[in-house]
Amino acid sequence: MANTIPHLMFPTVNKCASIGREKQTVVADMDGTLLRGRSSFPYFALVAYEAGGILRLLVLLLLAPFAGFLYYLVSESAGIHVLIFATFTGMKVCDIEAVARAVLPKFYSNDLHPETWKVFSSCGKRCVLTANPRIMVEAFLKDYLGADMVLGTGINTYKGRATGFVCSPGILVGQKKADTLIGAFGETMPDIGLGDRHTDFPFMRLCKESYVVPAKPEVEAVSRDKLPKPIVFHDGRLVQKLTPLMSLLIILWIPVGLVLAILPIAAGALLPMHLVYYAFWALGVRVYIKGTPPPPAKKSSGQTGVLFICSHRTLLDPIFLSTALGRPICAVTYSVSRLSEIISPIKTVRLTRDRVNDACMIKKLLEEGDLVIFPEGTTCREPFLLRFSALFAELTDQIVPVAMANRMSMFHGTTARGWKGMDPFYFFMNPSPAYEVTFLNKLPEELSCSAGKSSHEVANYIQRVIAASLSYECTSFTRKDKYRALAGNDGIVAEKPKLAPNKVMGC
């Protein structure tokens, strides 16, 4: 009955014209309206795990049936309040905001309703009215969807931590949505109201036109290329949206996966590099090699080493490059964690960020043998390449581009906010992790700096070649852009006095 009432009272959203709306105001609900999914549990679960850990996720999952009982049989607001209480109680407000800014937009954007977005995006002024906590949704709605106003449930806080309770007037459901809309707009009626359930009717009646979004699980989300703003940077450990079933699988898998992850890490650290490839395959880690790698440099003939220029996906890129070559390759990095250095089977050397010193260091390393550099300076998860630093092009003409790609089905092997020492473990905790290493053609002599090309021209050429191989998009974003977006800093890690000169903490 609840699913048929909206169709009798209001026309469906596909009947709403989206042309000529530039000066009009739209007010839309979120779950089930602006998003395809009608449940907010997956997003509460993401906050619970990313900001609170596995135990917080377990508590939320245990209380989810009770929340569902209240939501459907007693009170919609009571069910939502249980989710808020289980997720937020005692959590730092800054941690919630960090997850809302760096983690949730990726998942929200994957669930954007095409018909609602067509109408919402056509209007000049956009407002979202939702029962969700405003702290969870505001960053995504304003930064990525261009919302001018977000009216959501307020979270009560005490000394920088959430109490688990909500601010007056409580959960924005039913008449409270209508009262909030009146408080925000006064006597001015919004032009369009969009909702998906009977508790949205009170605020929809206040709009000049109202349309309901019918439940259509089969409708496809707005595609990546049609998103209003591409998600280039995002953080968090989880690859998939956390449905109740997926949450249970994550909780059960983590202890098992952590133990299993130790095996390939130990194999990489203890076995000779020419055997690591076979050990990885035996342990379920797939390594695919394409192209023809160059032979090792011969010191006896005075030949300098080859400089491998790679796209950067995870901290393990140089390990898998060495695995593909069958020999350890020294890696120049901005930083790696102390734990990662301890378990690393290859030598890593830290860049000082001083151009002259770094150039001298790289030249010396190339005299000793082959070397790998990641000119992006940091990892990027999405199909984009960050701007390439041009320093490497000035130091040698023996450059081989390498396109690195990987597959992770459960956990991301990178983080901007968390403890980076766990990055290798999270990658190998995936049920079937895979890496693809593609050796591209060596840089032609006529395109090198020796032939008169500038270092920036060479760097841009290498970036385009690697991007074309991976079907990625080149960008001008840098390491600083990534860390400012995800962590609120420049990604610079202070030196630790106990480390050797060629060591560094962080990543």
Average pLDDT, the chain: 90
Q: Which position has the token pair 């619970």? A: 48
Radius of gyration of the chain (CA): 26
| Count of positions (residues) in the chain | 507
| Segment (H or E) for 149 | strand 149-153
**Sequence-ordered list of residues with C-beta below 8 angstroms from that of 172, at least 6 positions apart, any chain:** 129, 130, 131, 151, 152, 153, 180
Higher per-residue confidence, 362 vs 354: 362
Q: Taking 80 as the threshold, does the pLDDT of residue 59 lie above it?
A: yes
pLDDT band of residue 299 (cuts 50, 70, 90) is: low
Under a CB-based contact definition with an 8 Å cutoff, are residues 429 and 249 in contact? no
Higher per-residue confidence, 506 vs 37: 37
Q: How far apart are CA 405 and CA 384, in angstroms?
A: 11
- The pTM score is 0.90
DSSP state, residue 422: G
Q: Taking 70 as the threshold, does the pLDDT of residue 178 lie above it?
A: yes
Q: Taking 80 as the threshold, does the pLDDT of residue 377 lie above it?
A: yes
**Residues paired with residue 400 on neighbouring β-strands, in sequence order:** 308
| Segment (H or E) for 136 | helix 134-144
Q: Per-residue pLDDT averaged across 109-134, rounded?
A: 96
pLDDT (tens digit per residue) in 329-344: 999 887 777 777 777 8
Q: How far apart are CA 93 and CA 163, in angstroms?
A: 10
pLDDT of residue 7: 52
Q: Taking 70 as the threshold, does the pLDDT of residue 50 lie above it?
A: yes
DSSP state, residue 191: S
Q: How far apart are CA 178 and CA 430, in angstroms?
A: 46
pLDDT band of residue 371 (cuts 50, 70, 90) is: very high
pLDDT (tens digit per residue) in 269-284: 999 999 999 999 999 9
Cα of first residue to Cα of last residue in the chain, in angstroms, is 54
pLDDT of residue 353: 74
**Sequence-ordered list of residues with C-beta below 8 angstroms from that of 149, at least 6 positions apart, any chain:** 125, 126, 127, 128, 184
DSSP state, residue 376: T
pLDDT (tens digit per residue) in 245-272: 999 999 999 999 999 999 999 999 999 9
Which candidate, 371, 335, 215, places its Cα nearest to that of 361?
A: 371
Cβ-count burial 432-458 (b if 16+ within 10 Å, e if not): ebbbbbbbbeebeeebbbeeebebeeb
Tokens of 42: 């997956």
Q: How far apart are CA 61 and CA 374, in angstroms?
A: 40
Tokens of 149: 């106003």
pLDDT band of residue 3 (cuts 50, 70, 90) is: very low
Under a CB-based contact definition with an 8 Å cutoff, are residues 257 and 429 in contact? yes
Q: Which position has the token pair 């790289």? A: 362
Bond prior to 230 in cis (omega within 30° of 0): no
Q: Taking 90 as the threshold, does the pLDDT of residue 303 lie above it?
A: no
What count of other Cβ atoms lies within 10 Å of the Cβ of residue 364? 11
Q: Taking 60 as the threshold, does the pLDDT of residue 355 lie above it?
A: yes
Q: Taking 60 as the threshold, does the pLDDT of residue 465 lie above it?
A: yes
Helix 244-270 × helix 54-69 angle, to 10°: 170
pLDDT of residue 333: 80
Vertex 117: Cα angle to 114 and 123 (nearest 5): 150
Under a CB-based contact definition with an 8 Å cutoff, are residues 105 and 234 in contact? yes
pLDDT of residue 493: 54
pLDDT of residue 502: 37
Q: How far apart are CA 68 and CA 39, in angstroms?
A: 10
pLDDT of residue 339: 76
Reduced to 3 states, what is the DSSP secondary structure of residue 131?
A: strand
Which candidate, 150, 115, 92, places its Cα nearest to that of 33?
A: 115
pLDDT of residue 491: 64
Q: How far apart are CA 454 and CA 448, in angstroms?
A: 8
Q: Which percentage of the chain shows pLDDT scores above 70?
A: 94
Q: How far apart are CA 334 and CA 57, in angstroms?
A: 34
Q: Taking 50 as the threshold, does the pLDDT of residue 507 lie above it?
A: no
Give the DSSP per-residue string, 320-367. HHHHHHTS--EEEES---HHHHHH-SS-EEE--S-HHHHHHHHHHHHH
pLDDT (tens digit per residue) in 183-226: 999 989 999 999 999 999 999 999 999 999 998 778 999 998 88
Q: Taking 50 as the threshold, does the pLDDT of residue 484 lie above it?
A: yes
pLDDT of residue 499: 38
